[in-house]
Structure 1
């Protein structure tokens, strides 16, 4: 009998199937509120009366039911529902329901009502909700959205309209469009990609002057500067490069390094005069990029090779790292000889850079040198050497030297080296089929191979969310708990399993950072007991300041590995935008060489997945 009723409901004239399904499946008001009338199949008056009685507590499916009823009075009834509401989400649902009138005789009236609400309603919450409804129509409502950009009282409403108009602005490709984007769009997460795509089509001398003014404005955000540098890098003309050159001495070392890198790839050799002085003094990120940029722009100048050889012996690690990359670019026998000598550099970060370049070199003469050194390195660098050996040979004889040495002794002289593309393809396939090992301590299933590690753990209010403690030696079955208690359980489990050679630290973050120690300490029995007692003492609550947690780890020059655990998007800190965090960390990590493993708790996180991938780490989820 129930099945017959549902089939009849789905076939009611004037009631779209989607609404019939929603009425059947959605929780909330009982089905009696959707009593059919002989003429339309939906009791619009009854639904309106329900909204007037329940107000913000009403089931939000009511608005879609009214709009899709086909009743002649549906438009007027839906307008009336708005007068009974004051909360953001019911208002958003009510205004959104006006989209059902698109393609009907009420389309013009619907858009006029929404535009009037967006521009003239006495409450900001209504103006923004009405704008959002028009924004869902995209280019189809371009005329109305243009008026909102020009006349709206609320910046949020203008920003919402601009976001919807980005594809339209890209087609118009005029100065007014560029001005609207720069003034009201907000680079944030995936929205940054849409803004970049639009701006890449907005070109010309007038727009270039507009960009110049914004880049010189001290109030212009760093997220926007990053984005504009990306956009200008795609222009590949002298005017854009000249504007980029104005950024190479920025006080923001990450922006300056990015500008230097772009100029280094531009092919305009006259920028050497501006970049070369930066090789000798400046922040680490700029020193490295400046040396590489000049190498690319001088294009095989033998005099510059002599300079690079000298720079490879500089006292500054960042300069030596840049020299390692430059020596690979030059690729003369003398350059290669010096690159291989740098495998014995005193600074671990320089050795990481050299090992990476040696893997890209793809010369068999490097193989015995790596075999000779792999056992004496830290686990972090030994991992990189093992990878370089696989990329050089296409075979895998494990992370220790004995089997590699035996293989090389037997086959070295006659070994036919595969092409670099083949070894890289084999390495990708290897990573896909690699199984997680349990021979060492793990944190949420991720191996802790490093002996210089910091665990950076979210302690914000959201970590009080429900989670399950897994079964283990102390629990015969999973137990209900909180996300932080699960993280605490993982820390308590992994620390005792680490080598006594390990240097480690703990840092918790909410709106600010709460470190255990100022820097790495030896994992002896005394410090282990102190650390285990400390876990859980950090204050709970506040926002999610991922940037502060990462910067704390980066500030200790001995740290080579970070395990980052969080359950939310960044919401506090100097840098909040996820794309800017990734861009800044990737840039800083060209001289820091820190592996970042990420654990996302309670949700999937594209941000954490990409952050780990871009910084040599692994990503896992605890859902």
Structure 2
């Protein structure tokens, strides 16, 4: 039995899903996905096949529409996981257009798991005949995860979809993850797509394939007006290592600042093994000396060079970096997200860890407020920033990113110092005597999903051009408790939804935990979104 939790993470990170399944010829007969009622009638009247002796497909068609809660629907879908029957495709394709993300994810998991020709042929025929965007996106994600061959004709049609950039992007990712011959040539044709998210997907996909066809569009992408595309271009040149990329990245260092400057420097270190950090003059001197005879080091040589570089890393550390709870970033556009739910009023247990911090008290909220205010007061004027405080509701310091000038720093630091934990233990006395409103216990829950999605300003259910082109490129997220309210509460669901939304935003998420709840969720959030995790203690 496959792991649903693991799959949900992997499907949110499609660029990391690289499967190799032997090629299978596409069906010559398109199979349009029937309407749900027609699907139920067809499947219910069909008898059990050789690959479905228990008639699970028929039972699914009979009972699924009666289930009203998502958990039961997911359970019903997963009952089909090991059924190698074309009927599974017939009954699950309509599920892909439902609004319940966890239900759709379960359907994608099953559709991506076929191993025999019959259901794979039915799957490819469904993709060939499907016209509706939500269903096509689900099928393309299942194709990317399953790695089925024989879908070239359908994917070509998706790549040419003028109405939906999301479909074009998903088709690029599916091609990059699959075994199709000539996939790289089809992908590179979209390198100049009008939608930045598609241009990013082309660069990311070709780089994941290790294709040299990425080099020219990546070089062009270094001049793109959208920073997310430039970030993908820099990463692509680092992953597909060629000597010709070295001078391009050195020049790029002069054009960038903040996080992308650091990305360009890191790409140069990955290419060469040299450890000059963000000191462009040293890279220029190095290249002027060696450019006529330079060769990219082998993997073994690179490993030795990087080990030596690590030993002297501090010598070339970037000036003006922002540090918050031990996590340093060169970013020039930062968002701090701080938990002010009721549990933040609790005292820390490991008080010796915080004894020398000069905090007003050992309450979690006082510790994190003090540290955040101190960090804000140290920000350089060229940095832009904002602050979000969240419990049940989400509150911003300002509507948009602000310059860290003297006025901005003073205003934000005061705003942070005046924050209070909402509905904490000290308020429970009110509740015990019938004054629940005064206690505001409902307002003191932990809306992790709402806070993270507010940080991106992104609604993944209705992708539109420009939604993902956020100004900020780095988020610090601090929380002490398990999610307890919001559209999604389960950590696996929140991880899937945020990581999926951030796949186009390309924001780095650093997570910081304080308290006694399970830390793996925070670790997974940071790892899946390019950031670091820090545990402040209990």
Instruction: Say whether the fold is shared (TM-score over 0.5).
Output: yes
Encode CA deviations 1:181-213: one digit per residue, 9 max, x unaligned. 98699769xxx9x99997643443454444346
1:119 corresponds to: none
Whether 1:470 and 2:354 are equivalent positions in the alignment is yes
1:413 corresponds to: 292
1:399 corresponds to: 278
Deviating more after overlay: 319-328 vs 544-553: 319-328
Encode CA deviations 1:237-256: one digit per residue, 9 max, x unaligned. 22244556788845599857
1:543 corresponds to: 445
CA distance in 2, matches of 1:412, 1:471: 54
Whether 1:352 and 2:231 are equivalent positions in the alignment is yes
Encode CA deviations 1:214-264: one digit per residue, 9 max, x unaligned. 446x4x731121132123212252224455678884559985773574488
Superposed displacement of residue 457, structure 1: 1.1
Q: Which of the residues 155, 158, 173 maps onto 1:275?
A: 158
Change (3 A) 1:316 1:210: closer
Q: Are the counterparts in 2 of residues 287 and 318 from structure 1 also a CA contact under 8 Å? A: no
Superposed displacement of residue 453, structure 1: 0.5
Change (3 A) 1:569 1:301: closer
Encode CA deviations 1:64-117: one digit per residue, 9 max, x unaligned. xxxxxxxxxxxxxxxxxxxxxxxxxxxxxxxxxxxxxxxxxxxxxxxxxxxxxx
CA distance in 2, matches of 1:483, 1:181: 49
Change (3 A) 1:408 1:196: farther
Encode CA deviations 1:569-590: one digit per residue, 9 max, x unaligned. 2222222232232223333222
Where 2:446 maps in the other structure, the secondary structure is coil
2:480 corresponds to: 567
Q: Are the counterparts in 2 of residues 546 and 570 from structure 1 also a CA contact under 8 Å? A: yes
Where 2:252 maps in the other structure, the secondary structure is helix
Q: Are the counterparts in 2 of residues 553 and 559 from structure 1 also a CA contact under 8 Å? A: no
Q: Are the counterparts in 2 of residues 245 and 263 from structure 1 also a CA contact under 8 Å? A: no
Encode CA deviations 1:525-554: one digit per residue, 9 max, x unaligned. 111111112113367142211121111221
CA distance in 2, matches of 1:433, 1:576: 44
Whether 1:460 and 2:362 are equivalent positions in the alignment is no
Superposed displacement of residue 620, structure 1: 0.7
Select the structure with the greater relative contact order (CA < 8 A; seq sep ≥ 6). 2
1:319 corresponds to: 198
Change (3 A) 1:482 1:199: farther
Q: Are the counterparts in 2 of residues 375 and 400 from structure 1 also a CA contact under 8 Å? A: no
Q: Are the counterparts in 1 of residues 203 and 214 from structure 2 also a CA contact under 8 Å? A: no
Change (3 A) 1:361 1:443: same
Name structure 2 gaps, 5 residues minimum. 1-51, 423-442, 458-468
Q: Which one has the bigger helix percentage?
A: 1
CA distance in 2, matches of 1:553, 1:298: 38
Q: So what's the TM-score if we normalise by structure 1?
A: 0.61
Q: Which of the residues 585, 589, 601 maps onto 2:514?
A: 601
Change (3 A) 1:302 1:612: closer
Encode CA deviations 1:142-185: one digit per residue, 9 max, x unaligned. xxxxxxxxxxxxxxxxxxxxxxxxxxxxxx99555995998699
Where 2:477 maps in the other structure, the secondary structure is strand
Change (3 A) 1:610 1:301: closer
Q: Which of the residues 467, 471, 474 maps onto 1:558?
A: 471
Q: Are the counterparts in 2 of residues 594 and 615 from structure 1 also a CA contact under 8 Å? A: yes
1:367 corresponds to: 246
Across the aligned residues of Structure 1 and Structure 2, the Cα RMSD in angstroms comes to 4.2
1:610 corresponds to: 524
Deviating more after overlay: 553-562 vs 232-241: 232-241
Where 1:413 maps in the other structure, the secondary structure is coil
CA distance in 1, matches of 2:303, 2:70: 39
CA distance in 2, matches of 1:277, 1:516: 43
Larger Rg: 1
Whether 1:300 and 2:182 are equivalent positions in the alignment is yes
CA distance in 1, matches of 2:140, 2:266: 28
Aligned residues: 438
Q: Are the counterparts in 2 of residues 256 and 286 from structure 1 also a CA contact under 8 Å? A: no
Superposed displacement of residue 597, structure 1: 0.2
Change (3 A) 1:312 1:530: same
1:516 corresponds to: 397
Superposed displacement of residue 327, structure 1: 5.7
CA distance in 1, matches of 2:258, 2:509: 15
Where 1:511 maps in the other structure, the secondary structure is coil
Whether 1:589 and 2:502 are equivalent positions in the alignment is yes
Change (3 A) 1:258 1:587: farther
Change (3 A) 1:578 1:238: farther
Deviating more after overlay: 338-347 vs 248-257: 248-257
Change (3 A) 1:449 1:256: farther
Superposed displacement of residue 489, structure 1: 1.1
Q: So what's the TM-score if we normalise by structure 2?
A: 0.69
CA distance in 1, matches of 2:206, 2:403: 37
Where 2:331 maps in the other structure, the secondary structure is coil
Q: Are the counterparts in 1 of residues 172 and 202 from structure 2 also a CA contact under 8 Å? A: yes
